[in-house]
């Protein structure tokens, strides 16, 4: 491999890693890898995040192809099309050396993940799907939950990377697309929790019950869980900016969950409700707000001031 630097005293598990996609999540993940002592080469469509990470010890790559000169590459791009354009359309898998393992942490469709399985198999390149659970602040703190799936040999080679990205790793299976399915199912369940809270708080407000009181009851008894404790205060306080995960991304994930259900004949009627509510929120001008702003839809329908 070209330009390989020695792993100065940090142990045999130190790897030369490429990282593509330095949005709010990707930047935090790349910092976790740097902090774990790995050698990280980064590329992003906009140069600002690259320069920020270069000052923290990363090596800047001029092209995605340079990033693929590594032991492993992590891709954290926003959607199917972005992964297709950057990875497949540029022939990076075909040009990659055969010892490389490509880790795709993007939240992508199950169907596209299956396409990626075939593309990596044709190219003879290892493929591990490793989407993550957590917001950008969680990524920056190295506290993500990593859902991973792939061939055991590929997984074994990149396990130090997966462990560096989060506080816990969750094996999903040997077929990478199952990790993407698990991530979509988790995001569907999380959006469902937000909708349940939105409707419960709208009900409380219509009866002049302080929703903060209801939130304290919920999070102190039946729903003492991170989803309720994180998003409940945001909904009660109508604190939807700045956005850590924008509404259109939530809409995308719900659509992908519906698509995965349709592909195997698994109806998801509540996902259809969520999709329409996300469209409603975007249509009311909330596209730049956090996806928890979908709660404003329930407030509007209850005749309440959504505070937007």
Give the residue numbers marked as catalytic.
Answer: 183
SS3 call for 149: strand
Q: How far apart are CA 184 and CA 237, in angstroms?
A: 27
Name 41's Cβ contacts closer than 8 Å, sequence gap at least 6: 16, 17, 18, 19, 58, 59, 60, 61, 66, 67, 69, 70
285: left (phi over 0), alpha (psi -120 to 50) or beta: left
**What are the Cα distances from residue 222, in Å, to 37, 217, 219, 229, 244?**
41, 8, 7, 12, 26
Name 138's Cβ contacts closer than 8 Å, sequence gap at least 6: 28, 144
Q: Are 264 and 288 in contact (CB under 8 A)?
A: no
| Helix 24-35 × helix 47-54 angle, to 10° | 20
> In b/e form, how buried is each residue of 256-268, taking b as 16+ CB within 10 angstroms?
bbbebbeeeeeeb
CA contacts within 13 A on the Cβ side of 302? 19
Name 279's Cβ contacts closer than 8 Å, sequence gap at least 6: 251
Which burial class, exposed, middle or buried, applies to 72 when counting CB atoms under 10 A from its CB (0-12, 13-18, 19+)? buried
């Amino acid at each position: 491999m070209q330009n390989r630097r020695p792993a100065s005293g940090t142990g045999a598990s130190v790897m030369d890693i490429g990282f593509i996609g330095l949005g709010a999540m990707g930047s935090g993940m790349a910092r976790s890898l740097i902090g774990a002592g790995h050698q990280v080469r980064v590329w992003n469509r906009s140069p600002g995040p690259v320069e920020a990470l270069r000052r923290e010890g990363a090596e800047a790559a001029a092209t995605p192809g340079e990033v693929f000169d590594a032991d492993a590459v992590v891709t954290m791009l926003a959607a199917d099309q972005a992964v297709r354009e950057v990875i497949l359309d540029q022939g990076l898998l075909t040009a990659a050396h055969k010892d490389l393992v490509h880790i795709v942490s993007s939240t992508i469709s199950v169907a596209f993940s299956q396409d990626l399985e075939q593309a990596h198999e044709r190219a003879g390149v290892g493929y591990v799907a490793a989407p993550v659970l957590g917001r950008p602040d969680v990524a920056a703190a190295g506290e993500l939950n990593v859902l991973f799936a792939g061939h055991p040999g590929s997984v074994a080679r990149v396990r130090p990377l997966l462990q560096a990205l989060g506080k816990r790793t969750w094996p999903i299976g040997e077929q990478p697309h199952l990790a993407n399915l698990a991530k979509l199912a988790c995001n569907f369940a999380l959006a469902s929790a937000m909708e349940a809270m939105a409707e419960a708080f709208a009900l409380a407000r219509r009866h002049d019950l302080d929703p903060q009181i209801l939130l304290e009851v919920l999070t102190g008894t039946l729903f003492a869980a991170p989803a309720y404790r994180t998003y409940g205060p945001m909904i009660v306080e109508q604190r939807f900016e700045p956005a850590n995960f924008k509404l259109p991304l939530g809409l995308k994930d719900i659509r992908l969950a519906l698509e995965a259900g349709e592909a195997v004949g698994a109806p998801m009627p509540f996902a259809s409700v969520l999709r329409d509510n996300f469209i409603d929120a975007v249509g009311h001008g909330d596209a730049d707000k956090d996806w928890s702003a979908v709660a404003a839809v329930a407030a509007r329908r209850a005749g309440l001031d959504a505070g937007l």
